[in-house]
Structure 1
Amino acid sequence: MNNPAPPAVAATGARDLVEHDGELALLRELVQAISSGPGVEPLTAAAARIITEATGTDACLVYVLDDTETSLVLAGATPPFEHVVGDIALALSPGQSREAVVIAEDGDNDPRYVQIDGLADFMSMVSVPMATDPGGLVGELVVYTRGRREFSSAELELLSVIGRLIAGTLQQARLHRQLVLRERAHENFVEQVIEAQEIERRRLAGDIHDGISQRLITLSYRLDAAARALGDGHYEASLQLDAARELADLTLAEARAAIGGLRPPVLDDLGLAGGLASLARSIPQLRLEVDLAEARLPEHIELALYRIAQECLQNVVKHAEATVARLRFSVGDGTAQLHIVDDGVGFDVHERPSGDDARGYGLLSMSERAELVGGRLDIRSRPGSGTSVTATIPVEALTR
């Protein structure tokens, strides 16, 4: 029969077991916090709470390197400092020490003690840098106690381990935030570019309407007046006037078509599906079969897809020698797709026309519009087998 362990040994073993269980619990909480998502603030807030509980300290502030990498910004804190998160920044100086800082007492007179409103109630402080290898400094975690406390080497090591555990995740969160900001900036830029294009198109439409169209109408009236003044005795002159009037009417019709193409108000009234249906009806040269989803998208995406369809159908009319075409618009699985296929003569996609001719310019314009809104354009064709054009645009969610 085994003899029971001496009381002192049993107490030490029990304490080790408790400490071991505490470390496992701490590790589980840290893993859960790290796995909670890519946000910097939720992770730092959770880390601050976990650190104070694990170390028996009274407050914790977690600073994270800002996007300019010139300062550390307070990203997470325990009470009573959570209200100043985002408002406190510590400037970084070149070659600044990345060693742990321990202040047991008299912090007010120590230049390393960062003065923040409310810290007068705290006496001891430990600051530990958070860094990745490679990658360098990511942030800094700081703990405070109200009473004087000498932090042991084991406690400093625990804080350093915690810092290393969350440093990599914080770095990923920083990069994710920067990516999101860049994507938002790019989307805003795209919207501004498309808006500027549409403003210019409306201006051109107004200029054509108020200038060329009005002059053509006046010219038609003058030609009618000239025909009446000539009377019936000038057969050859009357023929020339009739031809001139017909040319003026044709030019006026083309000007009005250009105005309609430059400014499609139907998008505002009916959305993309209604706009595409109206566009299909405006092309009598083709028998167009349409299948259009009644879904609304962000305005800049609707404009891009409408312009792609407009350019594509113009190419079909001018170059494809087609009699039938199909126009399909669908939304699903996070993408909007515009698909146009015709039964025309087709062409060799490996020898596309250059941008110097009308078809080449049209293909380039469609591709650029798709790429501008983060999508892609796929063109499939071969001589004698028609052409298929598909624009695929990512969309996060329907706007309405």
Structure 2
Amino acid sequence: MPEPPVVPLRPSPLARLARERDSLRGVIASIGRETDLAPLLARVLEHACALLAADHGAISLVDESRGTVRAAAVRDMPAVRIGDIIPPGVGMVGLVLERRAPVCVRRYAEIPTPIVPALDEHAMIGVPVHWGDAPMGVFALGRAPDASTGRRRPFGARDVETLEEFARHAAIAVHNARRLAAERLRGERLALIAHVGRLVTGDLQRDELLQRAADAIHEILGYENVAIALLLPEDPDTLLLHSLGGGYKRAIGGRHHIPIDRGLMGAAARTREVVLANEAASDPRYLPTPGTDGRQAEVVLPLLAGDRVLGVLNVERREPFAAEDVDGLRIVADQLAVALENAQLYEAAQRAAALEERHRLARELHDSVTQQLFTASLVAQSVGAAYARDMVEGERRASMLVDITRGALAEMRALLTELRPSAEWPVLTIPDAGLARLRGVGLVEAVRTHVASGAVGEVAVDVVDDGWTPQPPAIEETLYRIAREALHNVVKHAHAARAEVRATTRGGVARLTVHDDGAGFDPGTRIGGRRDGGLGLRSMRERAAERGGALHVESAPGRGTTVEAALPLGEADMP
């Protein structure tokens, strides 16, 4: 007697719930471990296909900068590859985005505009991927007819609910990845600004400075083509293509003259405004450049010294420029303009006042912006790991990084404006949250707040009130700046585990001491041997000397460092 055929049992509701739970646990674990979006979405898609018995699937994401949709993850989907652009308004993706709601059909051919004939007889399901009200993309799965019977295997309402849950986790992964990518890009922009700032405050000649700046813009931010053109003093209607970076070095080479009545660079020089063309070839002012195909985005920023145009910074890349990209390049253009103006002043007159101003610039950059950027770099290095451990902690550190970088950019803009004083450009005071706090709470508490802000990294710092009495603002500000710079050096150079800041008022002297247990150094060779460390020590000495005081440094290799600032108090300053 023949055996009866084996009929597969449908999984019970409890079994399905258990499978869903296990799949979602796997997805959540992946989100916690993986920071690279592509493998993360591939893993989410794999779990969804396995749980819903789908033969193929794809996750497509909206590219808002270009107004397109691209396939970001693909699993056995006929005629679709990762990176493919999905035509707008057609297929399953177009239908889901149009309706902003799930779509479930027994046959792919039933949708209004099918675009993949190989899927016509397949059952399909698609749900939107969104963050809040903002559409991110579409999560779609398909089932082929049964190979032996030809029967279709449609999706049901429960499958829609399950896929929506996967789409929600995909949205979390995309959001986290984009936030992390944005913070990395922010860090790269800050690195470029800091790098150009070091070039500006260095001893480079103009030509070398501009060439290094062009190379840095290409290498740090990855922009394909970079050009810096200068307005000729003897012919103000002509730009000289001066320094080239990236592909322009190979495609152009040499120096070329460009009339300012032609091209996007000429337009920026004439109007003194930023010129942005995210589809350069479609701009009527665009002039084709040898070695390029015109499909790139282009932004041109004027290099301005007050109301004078010194030249332009031209940058090109494949992807469109966002507002944040332009803001970062604007800071770089302002730095280059300051460098060019300083170079012209130095070369024209070599006055002692010009040299003194350059020294002041170096000190202010070092004591304000550089310290903020260094603090930002410490926080930025921890963002990725924090996200992997705890999303809330990752968000907190990302927010802290945003606050620090905004403060650094505000200080940079204010300082650059201050360096161009005129009737139209009044002298500005650099906004400094630390100094504002100092005026409210006094020296000791202001230093404690600075330590608690994360500026000292992993160094354990004790702040000791050793009989300190409140002093006039000028005295407390000088000691606060010295304390901040000394702690900056501890973090950056000393490799210390602990440090102590001690403030005291005794015997007609306001005294601040910073001691660390770090590597130490030879004070006799460090100033000449290291430009950054020497600048910091000179800055502290100059600030103490401005108040009639002195700075003493005691250190030796392997024995830590003690920095002591002593400022005399006049009778009016005595408590």
Greater gyration radius: 1
Output the TM-score relative to the length of structure 2.
0.36
Q: Which has the higher contact order (CA 8 A, sep 6+)?
A: 1
